[in-house]
Amino acid sequence: MTDMIFEALGIYKVKLPLPFRLNHVNCYAVKGTQGWWLIDAGLSREATIEGWTKFFEAHAINPSDIKGIYLTHFHPDHYGCSGWLQNYSGAPVYIGEIDAERIKRYWKSENYILKALNVLFSENGMPHDVLKETIDSVNNLIRYTFPHAELTTLKPGQVVTIGDFEYEVVLTPGHTDGHICYYNVAHGLLLSGDHLLPEISSNVSLWPRSGADPNPLDNFLKAIDSIRTLNCKIALPSHGKPFSNIEERIRQLEIHHQERLELMKNCTGSGSTAYEVCLQVFRQDLSFHELRFAMAETLAHLVYLVDKGELEMESQDGVRIFRMV
């Protein structure tokens, strides 16, 4: 629960529970001479607040000791409890400027994302009864983002002080359009959020077009490649254990996505909807929460292939059909 994970930088891991098959998120607490800084927040729910409270009690951390809360991206398991932490501590909450906009659009005007996903999934072949349950699962997730934090935005390349050390803000789009990692050059340590994970591949989803990037997988592949230019020795991820085989992991992820692209391309056959491809590629026992991720990930791969000229897309009776060129 309260593991010291990287002593030289004063970093502790705070593992918080999630009510999903992916059952935890790693947040981090960094001890400096002037107080404590937090990385990511967990979902806004009782189990998260209990987890943070236990950590604070174990380390005799008073609310005023918390000096800053740094978020990697806007997803509820990272952003959700930041409002509660801010109300508790009075600390500023920092996030990349792109994802700050996504919070306004997706979590603060909740009907927008529900309607937009409804249209996106419907025009890509998801049946009505499945669609209703899938959209309901998104609605259930939005409640884990209250109360909202007042945000201070960060720009790529900006240098921030977390604990007693400096970290560079590294823009790593793909998992979200504005995902950021925090990189300590001196120790080659990357707080990698959901961008680089040791065992699972980050979900890369196509979001409804208004304001969202039209080709998130292209962004993700470029962003994992860009990590090679950092002299990164260790990554502290949001799910799973710290890992040091950075180059090997990047290569594994590149191969995974190339294989997934090939598989999805072949699944389109003489013409298929994204939903039909999704059912062929992903396991059949998905919850509706997981199905949303699977469907959006399928779409991210299919639009990437369309952009590369390997698939073509046409609309038939308001439903999109993908087929090999």
Give the angle 197-143-96 at the CA atoms, nearest 5°. 45
Quick one: pLDDT at residue 3? 85
Contact 30, 36 (CB under 8 A): yes
Which range marks the domain in which residue 226 is found? 3-261
> Any idea which of 106-120, 129-143, 301-315 has the lowest mean pLDDT?
106-120
pLDDT in tens, 168-191: 999 999 999 999 999 999 999 999
* Residue 318 belongs to some domain of the structure: no
Assess if residue 40 is contained within a domain. Answer: yes
The CA-based diameter of the chain, rounded to the nearest angstrom, is: 64
Residue 57 has pLDDT above 90, yes or no: yes
Distance CA 52, CA 42 (A): 9
Q: Is the CB of residue 283 less than 8 Å from the CB of residue 277?
A: no
Query: How many domains, the chain?
Result: 1
Q: Considering the domain boundaries, does residue 82 fall inside one?
A: yes
The answer, yes or no, to whether residue 306 has pLDDT greater than 60, is yes
In a domain, 296, yes or no: no
Q: Per the domain annotation, does 249 fall within a domain?
A: yes
Rounded to whole angstroms, how far apart are CA atoms 15 and 84? Answer: 17
- Cβ atoms of residues 30 and 11 within 8 Å: yes
Read off the pLDDT of each residue in 227-236 and give the average, rounded to a whole number: 97
> In the structure, what pLDDT confidence band is assigned to residue 111 with cuts at 50, 70 and 90?
confident
Query: Is the pLDDT at 110 greater than 90, yes or no?
Result: no
* Identity of the residue numbered 74: F
Provide, rounded to the nearest whole percent, the portion of the chain with pLDDT above 90. Answer: 94
Q: Is 68 part of a structural domain of the chain?
A: yes
pTM over 0.85: yes
Cα dihedral across residues 275, 104, 221, 215: positive or negative: positive
The yes-or-no verdict on residue 266 having pLDDT over 90 is yes
Is there a domain that residue 143 lies in? Answer: yes
Percent of the chain with pLDDT over 70: 99
1 — pLDDT class (breaks 50, 70, 90): very low
Q: Report the alpha-carbon angle 204-205-206, nearest 5.
A: 135
Is residue 38 situated within a structural domain?
Answer: yes
What CATH number corresponds to the domain at position 212?
3.60.15.10
Q: Where are the beta strands (DSSP E) in 134-253?
A: 151-154, 159-162, 165-171, 180-184, 189-193, 234-237
